[in-house]
A and B are shown apart, each in its own frame.
Chain A
Amino acid sequence: MLPLYRSFIYCALLLLSLLALPAAAQSGGSTTPATLRGTVRDAATGEVLIGATVLVPATQQGTATLLDGTFSLKGLKPGAAVAVQAQTLGYAPQLLTVALPAGTTQTLEFKLAATGRELTEVLVAGHMDRESAEQARRSEQKADNVVNIIAARTIELSPDVTVGNVVQRASGVSVVRNSGGDGQYAIIRGMDRRYNYTLVNGIKIPSPDPKNRYVPLDIFPAELLERLEVVKALTPNMEGDAIGGAMNMVMKSAPDHLVVAATAAGGFSDLFASRTFAGFSTSGQARQSPSETHPAGYQAQPGDFSNKALNYSSLKLPVNSLFGLTLGNRTKDGKLGLLVAGSFQNTYRGSDRLFYQPLGQPKPDPQPNTFTFDEIQRREYSLLQTRVGLHAKLDYVLNARNRISLYSLLVRLDDAQHRHIVTNDLGTGGDVPVQDQSRFQRQQLWSETLQGDHTLLPRLSLNWSAVYGRATFATPDQTTVGLVRATAANTQQGTFVQSNTHLWQRSLDQDVAGYANLNFAATDRLDFTVGGMLRNKDRSNFYDYYDLAGATTGTGTNNRQVFTSYDQARFAFNSSYDGLAKTTDANNYTGTERITAGYAQAKLLLAQKLQILGGVRLENTRQHYDSQLPTSAVGKSGTLTYLDILPSVHLKYLLSERQNLRASYFKGISRPNLYELIPGTNNLDNEYYTSAGNPYLKHTQADNYDLRYEHYGPANSQLLAGVFYKNIQNPIEYGFKQVGNNSSYYQPQNFGTAVNYGAELVFIKYLGHLGLTGNYTYTHSSITTTKRVYYRDANGNLQNADAGQPTAEYPTAPTQTRPLQGQSDHIANLALLYRNETSGFNAQVAAVYTGRRIIAVSPYKDLDQWQRATTQLDFSTEQKLPHHLTAFLKITNLLNTPTVVEVMQAPTTSLLSAPEQTRTDRILVQRDEYNRTYLLGLRYRLN
């Protein structure tokens, strides 16, 4: 926890220096002026209103309320009856008169009446600013289930520009980062990505990932969001396949007045001050593999491949740019509303990695499973990410009883990644490999949702959605060239051409779905909802791969080809059949998944105090795959069907107007990825072990219990404290499975039952201009899986013990109990905010603490790879300017926090002299540095 303290001190120092700025801008008044203090509140709820304008119309002196709803007007002209007006969006202005004797300080309390109708559920009040933090707090309070919400205004103020980074600020969520250091996948309450799902406006979206069903979150620009909800307890009307939780991206919706917002920003990553950005051009890349552009049976020739993508540029401090535009309006009669928003981000990211590439098999001496590595690599990543997001929401109110809306979303992330690997020059010589890889990857998601809301009878309403979603992934001609620098004694010295690979990969994940919900409000305190859903998913994957070797130059010992440039390098196929298309590779597969679901739920309010929401959901799953495995393979195609009955109950007890007590139970599931079911094999690390899919894999089921106390104080302060417990049946983990005499596959399997429990704490407190928000989650999980132990027995023989291979020392397979992959015992967020509505200056320092966690599970006992605990510190600030403009600055990763991966084993003495091996109790495997990014921009907002 020490780094957390350090970052806290950092925050405090930064904020103190910022506070000094606006304070100096204050000026004195004329003779014996008066002062007026007070608070602006919601007349109905007593909730304080932040940022409300308090104005003396006669003198045009004014201010805005602070984070705790208070205001203070100094230097006022005294008078017997001074008119003062308070107003804010969504409320009727209030004009009060007060006597202001000279030199006195008077107080005045405003109570504004809301003009909008207020709903009880997560649906937000019509005229309130739906994107505000206030509204997020209110939604959390009013929600039927356990949910955490981050509002658009909070995001805007935060250092984050992609959803992948935003989500790490939510309570109980940690992220897995991409090679540029941005959050990519969310781990919710210690449950890895496979146990969570992602929604857009409550609708599940397909995934562009070629093997998995979870959605990379770094493809979504943050500025399209109205809010991000993390739902941790599922109600019957939600899809049941989440155990950790569901992330719902609620996108900006049509306003009731003209909204114009635009953003332009530029910045850089200071990684590229210390080294250059080495990018490549994707023009001229072959979209299709030789097997696609030639007739069936074609054997590719070395001349069919181009290595032009390996001509790298060298840019010093390339400029990142971000643009956003949002336009929205509604017709005068209020019937037709439209919002269109677009976002474009062009960012140069990168990281430097030190990597001890683990050998597929540890050493048996001096102790069993002694960690060992193949080589030490220095990797440099240069990524150009181009992120485009476009969405449009159109809603049309036919009449008071009928409303339809159409929502369209297109997001695309182009990721041009150059990976440069140099094997560290240690030791006594040999071949030093150098490798460059150019990978262009396009991930795209397109989704259309047509929805209708109909009041059929005064107490009976229907809503429905028709959804089309299409996620695609394409990596055309991923090119790798390997060179070696020969340094050994007694050999030819120089740099030589070694290897070349070309990979084409595409996938499509397409959903067609329909949802319908029928709600009957029997009384004001009891309503019933029944509904159903049908989704048909089609998935297809294309994979083609070519492996070439550096052409040798004639006979003789020294026939290696001397490297001059990538353009000059010549390659050849080793076997004449290597040029054939890889049509029967198991990575080529198609699959379908049909989910048919129905539910019934009831919501009952007892004695105005206790709300009970409960019901049951039935989900029927039918999965089918067709692989390109040979006809002789068992499981070339397969069909799996199962039915789940998923009950849930959610209790909410209103201790007081400001306090809730919640208790809930739900049953959730997690389905295997289609790819995991296909029994094709892949040899990892070549001869070390073979991995394979598993068509006998069962889906995971979990019983989830939640208890949470909520306190919603004045001025948007909040305190949430809760505990959770999950009992997970058939979790999916990797382990060895016997396939023959002393032979095994490493494959996904079900391993009994795992438990996961923990506690969460969320708090928000504002004092004047200062705010402190934070959350802390403790998680504990435990799973036991089989592992392999390689050791020397008492007789001096080397033995392998694992599943199907009993030995004298291990009559049954060795097992290991560990936390679930990705689960940190402690995760925390802390942000210190300064907001001055008068001067329009905001600043925030945000820290994210992620405790140590397993990021890679080793097939060998005690060799799991742990990511060391990290504290990342980010800073953002903004200043309102005239003409609806705001200037902002975001700096991420102030501390340049490295990601360090370790194996918890004491290194041997000789290893201690290797780079970065500073600990005697653990071995460093990987160390990534991303450096800081800076972004400076201007935002324009009309209304």
Chain B
Amino acid sequence: MKLFTTALRGTGLVALAALGLLASCNKSNEEVELSTPPLSVGHPVNNSAPIGGPIKGTMQQDLEYNVTADVFVNAGDTLVIQPGVKVNFLGNFNFIIKGTLLSLGSQAKPVYFRAKNATTNTVVAHTDQVSADPATDPAYQGLWGGILGDVTCPLMVLKWTHVEFGGGTVVVSPVSAGIANNKNTYPIFFQNPLGAFILEDSWVYGATDDPIRVLGGRIQVMRNTFEKGGKTGGESLNIKSGTTGNIAYNLFVGTATNGSKASNNGGKNPQTNIYMYNNTYIHCGFRRNSAGRGGSINYEEGSRGVYYNNLMVNCKYGPRVVGSGNYLGNVLVVADTANLRYGYSLNYVDSLALANEIYPTAFLTKPQATDIPLPSSWLPAGYRLGQVYTAPQSLLRANNPQFVNFPLPAPVRRLADVNTVGTYNFHLLASSPALGKGYTGFQPLATSPAIPVNANFGATAITLPSRDLGAYPSDNSGNQH
């Protein structure tokens, strides 16, 4: 609602300015408002019976589709999903995309990929009470499979789309590679280094493991909200080799491990190069019960890129740059540190244990003079990268980013209790120390070839870095949720 009023105000200002212009110049001034039909291709997909098997064409506006078998979009085919479509999975089935998928929800009419209980015929609802046991929370049970891009998928676009309760098990991977037999799948999976994957203004809720895994692709992941990612492990965005692109203006709440992670393992070209900027990470890393795996941002195994302007609140670990060394039970292969730049991170913590991992022990994250809190003001003298340290008490509850509605210290008994947005609001108050601290001296990564900017076949907008930290800059150019 607040957003709407802001938008109205903005429009009002523009209108005033236009009036002024109008007064000075005497030019024709038709205001043309044409209706634009939602994109349609081919034939409509019939929803009179449950779907399964190969489909193409258009899933029509506002219709509901029940899925009772794996759905395939064959190589060369295109499936368009119009605003307001609801895809209900009545069991452990997948959307397998060998061709093109365009899920084009709108702010007013988002698209839903969701679970439906086959016996009660009711849509599975979010169970978002604080301190629920993840062992029994349906968000982590993988009630259906995933939207699985195959190696032939050239383009997968998800805009204003809810993807909920996915991550079920595949016995035999229905895609050519990348998903292990007898293991969980990922609610969203993409694996074509030359293809483009665009996720914008969407919501990904729940998963057994990683909510999104990308084994290669040109990606644009912007302005999304991730909640309850992974049961006892998993990164909301787990990026492997062959992937280039931007991850920006996303909100990660309660991811099991890291919100976003980049690695160059998997043997694909080009080298993973990810720009992570202006993201907000809230209480991530607490369901990953093994130690040292990270809890916000992670770069490892030859990945490169930049991370700037990120805001971390009560995450189990600060940004983790993996270096060489022995760290048991972990794969420790160094990130491409020569090609990794970062800084302008704000870390807020409520507890000493977290303060002691703002620069995670045993890793290579270099404290930056642009970080908040200022490292030189509190790190022990002669600090070596990865060294175990005890942070001063003064760090606790310092630099409160002052969210519109998320009181700090955290309004929960345990840090792991925060997993969803619910009624919280992570916009910044005007008094926030995160305002004006951002770095705008860099451009989003231009992939090669570039990701098209297009209402249907590409990114709606590639939002530039902001002078404010986090996903909700004060100019409202960021996350629209």
Q: Which of A15-23, A312-320, A799-807 contacts B (4 or more CB under 8 A)?
A: A799-807
Residues of A within 8 A of B338 (CB): 796
- Min CB distance, A679 to chain B, in Å? 10
- Min CB distance, B382 to chain A, in Å? 18
Judge if A560 is at the interface, Cβ distance under 8 Å.
Answer: yes
Complex-state Cα separation, A426 to B326, whole angstroms: 7
Interface string of B412-425 (1 = CB under 8 A from A): 00111100000000
Interface string of A674-688 (1 = CB under 8 A from B): 000000111100111
Complex-state Cα separation, A559 to B339, whole angstroms: 37
Which residues in chain A, 326-376, are within 8 Å of chain B measured between CB atoms? 359-361, 363-365, 372, 374-375
Interface string of A655-684 (1 = CB under 8 A from B): 000000000000000000000000011110
The reply to whether B151 and A428 contact each other, CB–CB distance below 8 Å, is no
Residues of B within 8 A of A910 (CB): 324
Q: Out of A488, A580, A632, A802, name the residue touching B174 (CB < 8 Å).
A: A632
- Min CB distance, B341 to chain A, in Å? 13
Judge if B232 is at the interface, Cβ distance under 8 Å.
Answer: yes
Judge if B193 is at the interface, Cβ distance under 8 Å.
Answer: yes
Judge if B208 is at the interface, Cβ distance under 8 Å.
Answer: yes
Residues of A within 8 A of B193 (CB): 741-743
The reply to whether A490 and B361 contact each other, CB–CB distance below 8 Å, is yes
Complex-state Cα separation, A795 to B229, whole angstroms: 36
Judge if B409 is at the interface, Cβ distance under 8 Å.
Answer: no
The reply to whether B184 and A486 contact each other, CB–CB distance below 8 Å, is no
Residues of A within 8 A of B266 (CB): 361, 687-689
Judge if B70 is at the interface, Cβ distance under 8 Å.
Answer: yes
The reply to whether A688 and B184 contact each other, CB–CB distance below 8 Å, is no
- Min CB distance, B432 to chain A, in Å? 27
Which residues in chain A, 775-828, are within 8 Å of chain B measured between CB atoms? 788, 790, 796-800, 802, 805, 807
* Nearest neighbor of B173 in chain A, beta-carbon distance: A681
Residues of B within 8 A of A790 (CB): 267
Residues of A within 8 A of B257 (CB): none
Complex-state Cα separation, A680 to B176, whole angstroms: 9
Judge if B48 is at the interface, Cβ distance under 8 Å.
Answer: no
The reply to whether B329 and A484 contact each other, CB–CB distance below 8 Å, is yes
Residues of B within 8 A of A461 (CB): none
Residues of B within 8 A of A739 (CB): 151, 176-177
Q: Out of A427, A633, A799, name the residue touching B326 (CB < 8 Å).
A: A427
Contacts A552-B134, A585-B171 given; does A576 touch B326 at CB 8 Å = no
The size class of the interface chain A forms with chain B is 35 or more
The reply to whether B178 and A788 contact each other, CB–CB distance below 8 Å, is no
* Nearest neighbor of B263 in chain A, beta-carbon distance: A687
Interface string of B262-306 (1 = CB under 8 A from A): 001111111100000000000000100111100000000110100
Residues of A within 8 A of B179 (CB): 683
Which residues in chain B, 118-172, are within 8 Å of chain A measured between CB atoms? 131-135, 140-143, 150-152, 167-169, 171-172
Judge if B231 is at the interface, Cβ distance under 8 Å.
Answer: yes
Residues of A within 8 A of B326 (CB): 426-428
Residues of B within 8 A of A363 (CB): 302, 333-334
The reply to whether B72 and A632 contact each other, CB–CB distance below 8 Å, is yes
Q: How many A-B residue pairs have CB under 8 A?
A: 246
- Min CB distance, A687 to chain B, in Å? 5
Judge if B453 is at the interface, Cβ distance under 8 Å.
Answer: no
Complex-state Cα separation, A690 to B334, whole angstroms: 23
- Min CB distance, B82 to chain A, in Å? 26
Residues of A within 8 A of B388 (CB): 489
Complex-state Cα separation, A334 to B352, whole angstroms: 94
Residues of A within 8 A of B140 (CB): 574
Complex-state Cα separation, A574 to B256, whole angstroms: 13
The reply to whether A630 and B172 contact each other, CB–CB distance below 8 Å, is yes
Judge if B92 is at the interface, Cβ distance under 8 Å.
Answer: yes
Judge if B331 is at the interface, Cβ distance under 8 Å.
Answer: yes
- Min CB distance, B413 to chain A, in Å? 8
Which residues in chain A, 666-716, are within 8 Å of chain B measured between CB atoms? 680-683, 686-690
Q: Out of B141, B150, B173, B181, name the residue touching A576 (CB < 8 Å).
A: B141
Complex-state Cα separation, A496 to B232, whole angstroms: 14
Judge if A120 is at the interface, Cβ distance under 8 Å.
Answer: no
The reply to whether A575 and B167 contact each other, CB–CB distance below 8 Å, is yes
Judge if A572 is at the interface, Cβ distance under 8 Å.
Answer: yes
Contacts A545-B182, A552-B134, A554-B133 given; does A743 touch B176 at CB 8 Å = yes
The size class of the interface chain B forms with chain A is 35 or more
Q: Which of A161-169, A247-255, A429-437, A830-838 contacts B (4 or more CB under 8 A)?
A: A429-437
Judge if A425 is at the interface, Cβ distance under 8 Å.
Answer: yes
Would you call the interface of chain A mostly helix, strand, loop, or mixed? Answer: loop
Judge if B116 is at the interface, Cβ distance under 8 Å.
Answer: no
* Nearest neighbor of B96 in chain A, beta-carbon distance: A632
Q: Out of B141, B361, B416, name the residue touching A575 (CB < 8 Å).
A: B141
Which residues in chain A, 550-597, are within 8 Å of chain B measured between CB atoms? 551-552, 554-557, 559-560, 572, 574-578, 580, 582-586
Judge if A491 is at the interface, Cβ distance under 8 Å.
Answer: yes
* Nearest neighbor of B217 in chain A, beta-carbon distance: A741
- Min CB distance, B351 to chain A, in Å? 10
Q: Out of A375, A743, A798, name the residue touching B191 (CB < 8 Å).
A: A743
Residues of A within 8 A of B286 (CB): 556-557
The reply to whether B191 and A577 contact each other, CB–CB distance below 8 Å, is no
Residues of A within 8 A of B316 (CB): 557
The reply to whether B168 and A577 contact each other, CB–CB distance below 8 Å, is yes
Complex-state Cα separation, A552 to B241, whole angstroms: 32
Judge if A487 is at the interface, Cβ distance under 8 Å.
Answer: yes
The reply to whether B131 and A549 contact each other, CB–CB distance below 8 Å, is no
Residues of B within 8 A of A547 (CB): 182-183
Judge if B215 is at the interface, Cβ distance under 8 Å.
Answer: yes
Contacts A545-B182, A688-B267 given; does A577 touch B329 at CB 8 Å = no
- Min CB distance, A432 to chain B, in Å? 5
Judge if B353 is at the interface, Cβ distance under 8 Å.
Answer: yes
Judge if B362 is at the interface, Cβ distance under 8 Å.
Answer: yes
Contacts A429-B362, A796-B339 given; does A584 touch B134 at CB 8 Å = no
- Min CB distance, A843 to chain B, in Å? 50
Residues of B within 8 A of A800 (CB): 241, 267-269
- Min CB distance, A747 to chain B, in Å? 11
Judge if A272 is at the interface, Cβ distance under 8 Å.
Answer: no
- Min CB distance, A588 to chain B, in Å? 10
The reply to whether A430 and B72 contact each other, CB–CB distance below 8 Å, is no
Which residues in chain B, 204-244, are within 8 Å of chain A measured between CB atoms? 208-209, 215-216, 231-232, 240-242
Judge if B14 is at the interface, Cβ distance under 8 Å.
Answer: no
Complex-state Cα separation, A805 to B270, whole angstroms: 10
Contacts A361-B301, A688-B266, A689-B267 given; does A740 touch B151 at CB 8 Å = yes
* Nearest neighbor of A576 in chain B, beta-carbon distance: B141
Which residues in chain B, 343-388, are within 8 Å of chain A measured between CB atoms? 353, 356-357, 361-362, 386, 388
* Nearest neighbor of A432 in chain B, beta-carbon distance: B328
The reply to whether A428 and B362 contact each other, CB–CB distance below 8 Å, is yes
* Nearest neighbor of B288 in chain A, beta-carbon distance: A557
19 A/B residue pairs, CB under 8 Å, sorted by A: A364-B302, A429-B328, A430-B330, A488-B292, A552-B135, A555-B416, A556-B416, A574-B184, A575-B184, A628-B172, A632-B70, A633-B172, A687-B265, A690-B177, A739-B151, A740-B152, A741-B194, A743-B268, A798-B304
Besides A431-B330, A555-B416, 11 other CB < 8 A contacts?
Answer: A365-B334, A427-B326, A484-B290, A545-B182, A547-B183, A549-B232, A575-B168, A687-B265, A690-B177, A740-B151, A740-B177
Please list the 8 inter-chain residue pairs (A to B) with the smallest Cβ-Cβ separation, ordered nearest first.
A740-B151, A427-B326, A575-B142, A431-B329, A683-B180, A488-B291, A491-B291, A430-B328
Interface, chain B (partner A; CB < 8 A): 70, 72, 92, 131-135, 140-143, 150-152, 167-169, 171-174, 176-184, 191-195, 208-209, 215-216, 231-232, 240-242, 264-271, 286, 289-292, 301-302, 304, 316, 324-331, 333-334, 336, 338-339, 353, 356-357, 361-362, 386, 388, 414-417
Interface, chain A (partner B; CB < 8 A): 359-361, 363-365, 372, 374-375, 423, 425-433, 484, 486-491, 496, 545, 547, 549, 551-552, 554-557, 559-560, 572, 574-578, 580, 582-586, 628-630, 632-633, 680-683, 686-690, 739-745, 788, 790, 796-800, 802, 805, 807, 910
